[in-house]
Homo-oligomer: A and B are copies of this chain.
Amino acid sequence: MGFLDPDRLLPADPATRPLARRLYDAVQGLPIISPHGHTDPRWFAENAPFPDPAQLFVTPDHYVFRMLCSQGVPLDSLGVPRIDGGPVETDGRRIWRLFAQHYHLFRGTPSRLWLDHAFAEVFGLTERLSPANADAVYDHIADCLSQDAFRPRALFERFNIEVIATTESALDDLGWHRMIRDSGWSGRVITAYRPDAVVDPEFPGFAANVAALGVMTGEDTATWGGYLAAHRNRRAYFKGFGATSSDHGHPTARTENLSAADAAALFAKALAGQCTADEADAFRGQMLTEMARMSLDDGLVLQIHAGSHRNHSAQVLARFGRDKGFDIPTRTDYVRGLKPLLDAHGMDPRLSIILFTLDETVYARELAPLAGAYPALKLGPAWWFHDSPEGMRRFREQTTETAGFYNTVGFNDDTRAFCSIPARHDVARRVDSAFLATLVTSGRLDEDEAHELAHDLAYRLAKQAYRL
């Protein structure tokens, strides 16, 4: 275990820790179900070695580089590529030294937990990263990465991943997934249908994207009917590569249930680039309801990831592009936003809509009451900024009393940082074991129930909710 505390994240008080430990011990070795995330299918298709420690841990991880940025470290110096192709740091060792010099910034953050876990458990390091050992650690990891045992498929197997879902654009040809399938490798890597580029009128190139969707599907996507048919077509295609869900990242939780004529008119405006901001939001909201309807036919689970103000910094967007750590949560209204969709289909138990939020104030006020009533709704786990020990604890404390455990869906790692996957599931299993143990020692749950729940939360509910 090296420098990791074997009892980390378990309750300190001596009356609760032993039970939490027993609960955790029983689930810590379960296979990983990863039903939503952003790993790159190319890794598993090509199975090439990861390039270097900085490329693995720093440059692609917005949790990591935004923290350094917040303390004045320029993103260029961490190798983050510029939109204009201008020069950025490319020397992995120099990037790594910068990272190690600032490693104290991660004290108290989940990034620190994930990094330490990967350093210790994946790479066998035995002391905390520091400026003093930066070079030695770099050399050690680089050496590991040159070995076959650290290639993507070997790590996948070592991580005990039973199934992992990646996320692809509706316009993706799923070539990497095809290559994985054709390779005969036994690892189960599935896709998920993410149509932002063709359902968001404000997405760069929306009209061209919709036209491309038409080409891909042979449907006339200039018409509302053809456009919907094209979605159905792509969803079926994605199902052919294992998809069991679609995923929607909208700035608000708004839904609409317009008449076909009104929806067609709004679609025409969107294609013409004439939507106001409000109309664009309405169109995205209409598409959530359409996706729910398609789901009744094809069974894809509908994930709604609402409430991120994307690309908050104009400067960072202009220089480095999207997904660079400057997506900021906003207040989100699920009660009014979801009503049109719920009035249409919320009572249908065949439907599985999984809600995520970046606004923790809605856990107890909105999400738990909604999911604790509507058969179609389930709650996704604590997301993104809240995918952390305190965040997960707040999620359980604020949702369980109204929604119970069985309207939640286990854990999502939701990451593109491959080596953090075991760490993230481990954190979730520990935090849930701690929460369950606390319920038992405070007389709110029996121990046999806690054991059953620990297994449900770590494994079974994710498979069930995502139909895996």
A312 vs B8: C-alpha distance when bound (angstroms): 42
Expressed in whole angstroms, the minimum distance between the Cβ of A457 and any Cβ of chain B is: 11
Chain B residues in 8 Å Cβ range of A187: none
Binary CB contact string for chain A from 94 to 125 against chain B (1 if under 8 A, 0 otherwise): 00000000001111111011000000000000
Expressed in whole angstroms, the minimum distance between the Cβ of A278 and any Cβ of chain B is: 15
Q: For the complex formed by this chain, how many copies does it contain in all?
A: 3
Chain B residues in 8 Å Cβ range of A316: 347
A374 touches B14 (CB 8 A): no
Q: Is residue A365 contacting chain B, with contact meaning CB distance below 8 A?
A: yes
Chain B residues in 8 Å Cβ range of A12: 11, 13, 15-16, 438, 441-442
A346 touches B109 (CB 8 A): no
Binary CB contact string for chain A from 5 to 48 against chain B (1 if under 8 A, 0 otherwise): 11111111111110000000000000000000000000000000
In A425-445, the 8 Å CB interface with B consists of 438-439, 441-445
Q: Is residue A297 contacting chain B, with contact meaning CB distance below 8 A?
A: no
- 8 Å CB contact of A67 from B3, B128, B404: B404
Chain B residues in 8 Å Cβ range of A17: 15
Residue of B nearest to A373 (CB): B66
Q: Which of A10, A330, A343, A373 has the most CB of B within 10 A?
A: A373
Instruction: Assign chain A's interface to a size class.
Output: 35 or more
- 8 Å CB contact of A365 from B108, B360, B373, B449: B360
Q: With contacts A364-B385, A373-B66, A401-B391 known, is A107 near B312, CB below 8 A? A: no
Q: With contacts A404-B108, A441-B12 known, is A67 near B372, CB below 8 A? A: yes
B401 touches A388 (CB 8 A): yes
- 8 Å CB contact of A108 from B106, B386, B405, B441: B405
Expressed in whole angstroms, the minimum distance between the Cβ of A315 and any Cβ of chain B is: 5
- 8 Å CB contact of A107 from B105, B343, B445: B445
Chain B residues in 8 Å Cβ range of A401: 108-110, 385, 388-391
In A305-324, the 8 Å CB interface with B consists of 309, 312-316
In A326-346, the 8 Å CB interface with B consists of 326-331, 333, 335-336, 339, 342-343, 346
Q: Is residue A161 contacting chain B, with contact meaning CB distance below 8 A?
A: no
A368 vs B404: C-alpha distance when bound (angstroms): 29
A373 touches B326 (CB 8 A): yes
Q: With contacts A16-B12, A375-B71 known, is A360 near B369, CB below 8 A? A: no
A6 vs B442: C-alpha distance when bound (angstroms): 10
Q: Is residue A282 contacting chain B, with contact meaning CB distance below 8 A?
A: no
Expressed in whole angstroms, the minimum distance between the Cβ of A256 and any Cβ of chain B is: 15
B330 touches A313 (CB 8 A): no
Q: With contacts A70-B407, A391-B401 known, is A108 near B366, CB below 8 A? A: no
- 8 Å CB contact of A404 from B105, B335, B343, B441: B105
Q: Is residue A86 contacting chain B, with contact meaning CB distance below 8 A?
A: no
Chain B residues in 8 Å Cβ range of A11: 12, 442
Chain B residues in 8 Å Cβ range of A327: 369
Q: With contacts A8-B443, A69-B375 known, is A315 near B347, CB below 8 A? A: yes
A325 touches B66 (CB 8 A): no
B15 touches A13 (CB 8 A): yes
A328 touches B7 (CB 8 A): no
A68 vs B11: C-alpha distance when bound (angstroms): 32
Q: Is residue A169 contacting chain B, with contact meaning CB distance below 8 A?
A: no
Chain B residues in 8 Å Cβ range of A339: 312
Residue of B nearest to A340 (CB): B314
A314 touches B329 (CB 8 A): no
Expressed in whole angstroms, the minimum distance between the Cβ of A312 and any Cβ of chain B is: 7
A374 vs B110: C-alpha distance when bound (angstroms): 19
Chain B residues in 8 Å Cβ range of A312: 335, 339, 342, 370, 373
A331 touches B329 (CB 8 A): no
Q: Which 6 A-B pairs have the closest CB atoms?
A: A8-B443, A5-B443, A72-B349, A108-B400, A388-B401, A13-B13
- Give 7 A-B contacts (CB < 8 Å), ordered by A residue: A12-B16, A108-B404, A313-B347, A329-B369, A330-B335, A385-B401, A389-B444
| Beyond A7-B443, A107-B404, A385-B401, 9 extra complex contacts between A and B, CB < 8 Å | A8-B443, A13-B14, A69-B375, A109-B400, A113-B444, A331-B361, A365-B385, A369-B385, A390-B398
